[in-house]
Structure 1
Amino acid sequence: MARVLEVFRQFLLLGCTSFGGPVAHLGYFRERFVQREQWLTDAAYADLVALCQFLPGPASSQVGMGIGLLRAGWPGALAAWIGFTFPSAILLVLASAVLSANPEWLAGGWIQGLKVAAVAVVAQAVLGMQRKLAPDRGRASLMAFAAVLVLLVPLAWVQLLALLIGAVAGLTLLSPPDDRALGHERLTVPVRRSVSILLLLVLVGLLIALPWLTAEARPVAIQQVAGFLQAGSLVFGGGHVVLPLLEQSLVPPGWISLDQFLAGYGAAQAVPGPMFSFAAFLGFDLRGGLQGIGGALIALLALFLPAFLLIGGVLPFWSDLGTLQAMRRALKGINAAVVGVLLAALFQPVWLAGIKTSADFSLALVAFVLLVGWKQPAWRVVLICGLVGGFALSS
């Protein structure tokens, strides 16, 4: 129980301070659980990130669930999800009525300061992971190739292609890993194989049932829940990709207006935590079905359920695959490609969204030095940037 409470406390802190979107979240997680708490090594963390990049769903939330699962079993996975998700969900529920009438309250320099903080956090993560996972000429070249590919072909599936290319390069071009200092570390997952298989079967059953659940003959509330399940099952490429899927499910039937939907989208970008918390905003105000606190909670659970089933169903098998010599060689390339994907994301969208002026760059530089040179925790640097942005930066 002590470990479960510690997982909840750590992720609650992150859920209250992790601004900047999925890529920034991965930086916050690494700073907290690899550098400070040392729950994972860089290699193990990169393996977990690589797995979650392969799976559909919210990658950063799945990484968080995986960390909680590794640390404290199923209760830890649930505690990690609740701690990381509920702060933003509560804020979005509270904001729904206000934003529908007055969306301009989001404007302000403090938001720009938080975007600048995300630049520094992601830059720190890229630097630290490059030193450990792409230190030599071959892996550094693979890292650069993955970054260029993702930047020049800005499609969601290209991130997966970059990781696949990394795996092939690891098998065919990179030197074998030193067995005395493995690039892969076996993850001890406290989940029975039978339970993992059952979770995957439940997910397959849900996917098979979706056409029946979304039929017009079903009650409106069932159709709405099925829309959230479908979006959570099919989204690739991060939290932002879920938005068009939800819009197609909820706006045309008239369950929520487009203006209100877009207002919620703006709010979801301004709060910490996962973008999938947007489901709480939507579920609170849907017409004809889900409503109020109960509707927000059901929508949230439906959108995240596929991610929970996937991480619990696949992570134990991923760990076993990582112990094979061929898989270790592939993961050596995958890890380098993961760093390249993060490097690309540092530029687009994190840098382009956060650095607009010389003042923005100056604040980002100070934040980076605080993180790398002065070893300040990420949440403190985020708060400092938000305060400085509120006083000094334009929105």
Structure 2
Amino acid sequence: MRDPLTTRPASANVPPGTPWEVFIAFLKLGLTSFGGPIAHLGYFHSEFVNRRRWLDDRRYADLVALCQFLPGPTSSQVGMALGLGRAGWRGMLAAWAGFTLPSAFILILFALGVARYTSLVQSGWVHGLKVAAFAIVAHAVWGMSKTLCPDVSRKVLAAVALGLALAIPGSAGQIAALIVAGLVRWWLPNSVSPAQAGGQYAPLSPRVGLIAAMAFMVLLLGLPLWSAVDASGAMSLVEAVYRAGALVFGGGHVVLPLLQASIVPNGFVSNDQFLAGYGAAQAVPGPLFTFAAYIGTVASGPLTGWLGGLVLLIVIFIPAALVLLAALPFWQKLNHRAGIRRALAGVNAGVVGILLAALYDPLWLTAMGDWRDVALAVAAFALLLHGRTPPVLVVLLAGIGGWILAV
């Protein structure tokens, strides 16, 4: 039996799963994954590479490297690809729903009446969750570095990527680090054997990729035209949210100021409402793109309330899904070429450097206030590395520890 979207039998390479299995796995992460997109990649690695073994380090790094190049929320796109590879298109939808809906519903509740509790982000237990995110990313880097940087040349590339990512802020430094690492490794002949190539985890047919690319561009170019003739103003809000999701590089932290520039001046929400939602978004698990659910709920005009929140939640993720589907089939074909495999080995080393950079900024800078935070992070890391404690329990214990330290 073949998956309707992919070019391989559903049982090839990775044992097939069910959409329900994918949903439950991602729902657990959607309820507990604090710390932003880089931390999410650490949670995914712990759950799907180490624990469930849906794929290996190299294939996981392939997905991360691909999604780093794409516009949209990197961690959500990696999650969609994992669901797609595990259970087809329904698995992709299940992964998105499980990972996204918990934080979306919380933000809708904030918008309906509890946004005044934005001081929650300064509480001790939330700070403990940030410390847990630091420990989980550190554990992911520790494991990935052994597989993806096994020789001196790739260790050097990871160090170069680390330097570039720290020297050039934002997504520009990350993309530059991956490009440099890939080009340098590509120039080294016979540096990677065919057996070491990762292979794409969720290959698609080229036709699906072309259709997705066309849909992406039609919406990007057509929604502004539709909003220009829509008297109600609802399509202007939809267009602004879609454009932000389609053009942003760097994930959720970058999309927030873009949304503010598009939405607040047009009067859809006040600046006070926007900032209240921004504060709430920092205190919830899951992707920051779910902030669109808050915007849709509090917005003035015909598109408002919980229904408006769900509509904008879907709108902001549509371009991320389309661009992922457009890229995957062609990424797979390129990955089979020896030169591309060499470049990909370099890019994978660059991913380790980028994760190391993120471990410092923003995770260390935002989570490590004094020696007590460092001690809590070391304890959480030790539980993951030596105690083999589930990340969910580590998150819970770190939250309790942060609350105790704040008392």
* CA deviation vs aligned residue, 1:192-238 (integer Å, no higher than 9, x gap): 32122111101011122243244375531111011110000000012
User: In the TM superposition, what are the counterparts of 1:191-206 in structure 2 within 5 Å?
Assistant: 191-206=204-219
SS at match of 2:282: helix
1:76 pairs with 67, 91, 103, which one?
A: 91
> How many pairs were matched up?
392
Identity %: 48
Deviation readout 1:83-102 (Å, 9 max, x if unpaired): 00000001111112444444
Mapped pair 1:104 → 2:133: no
How far is 1:254 from its partner?
A: 1.1
Asked if 1 retains the 8 angstrom alpha-carbon contact of 2:116 and 2:276, the reply is no
Structure 1 equivalent of residue 70 of structure 2 = 55
CA distance in 1, matches of 2:205, 2:187: 33
Structure 2 partner of 1:232:
245
The correspondence for 2:80, drawn from 65, 81, 93, is 65
Contact 1:133 / 1:336 at 8 angstroms: preserved in 2?
yes
Structure 2 unaligned residues grouped into runs of 5+: 1-15
* Deviation (angstroms), 1:372: 0.7
Is the Cα–Cα contact under 8 Å of residues 62 and 344 in structure 2 kept in the other structure? yes
Q: Does 1:177 align with 2:177?
A: no
TM-score computed with the length of structure 1 as normaliser: 0.96
1:8 aligns with 2:34: no
String of CA shifts for 1:266-325, please: whole Å, max 9, x gaps: 111110000001011110010013211210011001100000111112112211211111
- Larger RCO (alpha carbons 8 Å, 6+ apart): 1
Kept in 1, the 8 Å contact 2:277–2:291? The answer is yes
Is the counterpart of residue 270 in structure 1 residue 298 in structure 2? Answer: no
Question: Which residue pairs with 1:347 in the alignment?
Answer: 360
Amino acid at match of 1:143: A
DSSP 3-state at the match of 1:252: coil
Two-structure CA RMSD over aligned residues (Å): 1.5
Superposition pairs of residues 147-296 of structure 1, within 5 angstroms: 147-173=162-188, 175-179=190-194, 181-189=195-203, 191-215=204-228, 218-296=231-309
Q: Does 1:144 align with 2:159?
A: yes
Counterpart of 2:390 in structure 1 is 377
Q: Distance in 2 between matches of 1:174 and 1:89?
A: 48
CA separation of 1:72 and 1:383: change in aligned 2, threshold 3 A = same
Shift of 1:107: 3.0
Report deviation, 1:105: 3.8
4+ long deviations beyond 4 Å: none
After superposition, the Cα gap between the structure-2 partners of 1:357 and 1:333, relative to the gap in structure 1 and judged at 3 Å, is: same
Q: CA deviation at 1:335?
A: 0.3
Q: 1:363 to 1:117 in 2, by over 3 A?
A: same
Gaps of at least 5 residues in structure 1 are none
Give me the whole-angstrom Cα distance separating, in 1, the residues matched to 2:231 and 2:326. 29
Residues 134/2 of structure 1: CA separation in 2 closer, same or farther (3 Å cut): closer
1:188 Cα deviation from its structure 2 partner: 4.6
